[in-house]
């Protein structure tokens, strides 16, 4: 699909692997110049594969984020689109919520939510001065339903949805659109890290291997009865950056096979 994005610049935060990599790959296929931010060492290899440029940093370090935003902007001359695709889980099954140790909450909230706020602070003055562009934050359907699977993850993603609306209201008069994309059940390493602790609670009498257990869960919960793919998420991310979505801002859009339906 030609969305008229050729030559435009996108920065994907969390672009080394998973959904971030899929999004960066599709932007590159659309002819965009791509910058990747990630704390993972794989960011260099991913950047090489996509003919992109890599910056390795911790998004919870505000000083590093401000410096990297300025460096990235200078390197490209400007940035047209910003995607925040960072996510970590607590690694503990969250029902009841006090099953998750209190100490596990802070790192999840810090990375998934405050990391996004830090990136927003780093780039906001630059986008505001230029008076154009788009931002996209990857949240989750877990942020809409109070998921008991991983309460810290769910709470952080809910906060990100609300922050998206705040940022969209502030930046709309300056010509910058801000939206939130909520993946559903995507077979990524992160999804498995959230679900594995749940699957591990099976009793010996009813035990199923993870793939069988997860497939049955998808069949129960997802009306379209299939996993979503990283490419599904990437397709919506790229569309929202294009002029075809020029009147869409402040929205939370689900790509989830019908799992969460609003009225």
| Token duo for residue 63 | 């000083």
Cα within 13 Å of Cα(181), Cβ side = 26
User: What's the maximum distance between 2 C-alpha atoms anywhere in the chain?
Assistant: 62
Between CA 215 and CA 180 the distance in angstroms is: 27
Q: How many CB atoms lie within 10 A of CB 165?
A: 16
Rg of the Cα atoms in the chain: 18
From first CA to last CA, the distance across the chain in angstroms is 30
The pairing of strands 53-56 and 81-84 is unpaired
- Is 207 catalytic? The answer is no
Which of 49, 46, 60, 63 minimizes the C-alpha distance to 12?
A: 46
| Residue of 75, 153, 207, 210 with catalytic role | 153
Distances (CA, A) of 184 to 17, 37, 98, 150, 198: 18, 24, 25, 14, 17
What residues act catalytically?
153
């Amino acid at each position: 699909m030609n969305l008229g994005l050729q030559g435009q610049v996108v920065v994907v935060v969390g672009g080394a692997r998973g959904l971030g990599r899929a999004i960066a790959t599709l932007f590159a296929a659309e002819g965009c110049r791509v910058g990747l931010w990630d704390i993972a060492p794989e960011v260099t290899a991913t950047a090489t594969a996509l003919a992109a440029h890599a910056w390795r940093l911790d998004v919870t370090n505000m000083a590093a984020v401000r410096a990297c935003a300025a460096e990235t902007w200078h390197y490209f001359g400007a940035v047209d689109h910003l995607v925040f695709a960072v996510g970590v889980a607590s690694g503990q099954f969250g029902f009841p919520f006090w099953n998750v140790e209190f100490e596990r909450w802070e790192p999840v909230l810090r990375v998934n939510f405050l990391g996004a706020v830090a990136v927003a602070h780093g780039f906001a003055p630059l986008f505001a001065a230029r008076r154009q562009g788009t931002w996209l934050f990857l949240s989750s359907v877990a942020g809409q339903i109070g998921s008991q699977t991983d309460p810290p993850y769910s709470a952080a993603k809910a906060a990100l949805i609300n922050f998206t609306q705040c940022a969209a209201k502030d930046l709309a008069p300056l010509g910058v659109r801000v939206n939130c994309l909520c993946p559903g059940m995507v077979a990524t390493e992160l999804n498995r890290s959230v679900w594995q602790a749940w699957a591990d609670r099976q009793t010996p009498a009813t035990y199923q291997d993870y793939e069988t257990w997860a497939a049955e869960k998808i069949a129960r919960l997802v009306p379209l009865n299939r996993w979503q793919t990283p490419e599904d998420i990437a397709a919506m991310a790229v569309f929202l950056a294009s002029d075809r979505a020029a009147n869409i801002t402040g929205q939370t859009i689900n790509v989830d096979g019908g799992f969460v339906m609003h009225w």
